[in-house]
């Protein structure tokens, strides 16, 4: 009995399928657990022994649609409403009418 090439040729069933959360082909069908992100666990799977893997998945590797905006707003102290000079101009226009 060989335990090499001829044995590997008999493998044709998929053990993993696509994960809903990370999109990788790492979701074990029988266990229903992703070996990449840990889905369906609430916390994302990450370990300190996989430093390079953490680097690939961390914040800043994607679009950061919201966080890009937050850093800019933080610099200006999270201002809201219209600009001060615009408010001043509307007040002056009202006083000039009267």
Going from N- to C-terminal start, the domains of the chain cover 13-97
From first to last of its 98 residues, what are the pLDDT tens digits of the chain? 799 999 999 999 999 999 999 999 999 999 999 999 999 999 999 999 999 999 999 999 999 999 999 999 999 999 888 877 877 777 777 777 65
Give residue 19's pLDDT: 98
pLDDT at 29: 98
Per-residue pLDDT, 98: 59
Cis preceding-peptide flag for 32 (omega within 30 of 0): no
Task: With beta carbons less than 8 A apart as the criterion, state whether 16 and 36 touch.
Answer: no
Answer whether 18's CB lies under 8 Å from 25's CB: yes
Three-class secondary structure of residue 28 per DSSP:
strand
CATH class held by domain 13-97: mainly beta
């Amino acid at each position: 009995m060989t335990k090499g090439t001829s044995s590997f040729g008999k493998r044709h069933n998929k053990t993993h399928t696509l994960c809903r959360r990370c999109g990788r082909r790492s979701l074990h069908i029988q266990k229903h657990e992703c070996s990449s992100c840990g889905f369906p666990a609430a916390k994302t799977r990450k370990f300190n022994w996989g430093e390079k893997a953490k680097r690939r998945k961390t914040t800043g590797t994607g679009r950061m649609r919201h966080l890009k905006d937050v850093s800019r707003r933080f610099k200006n102290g999270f201002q809201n409403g219209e600009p001060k000079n615009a408010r001043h101009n509307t007040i002056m226009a009202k006083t000039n009418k009267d």
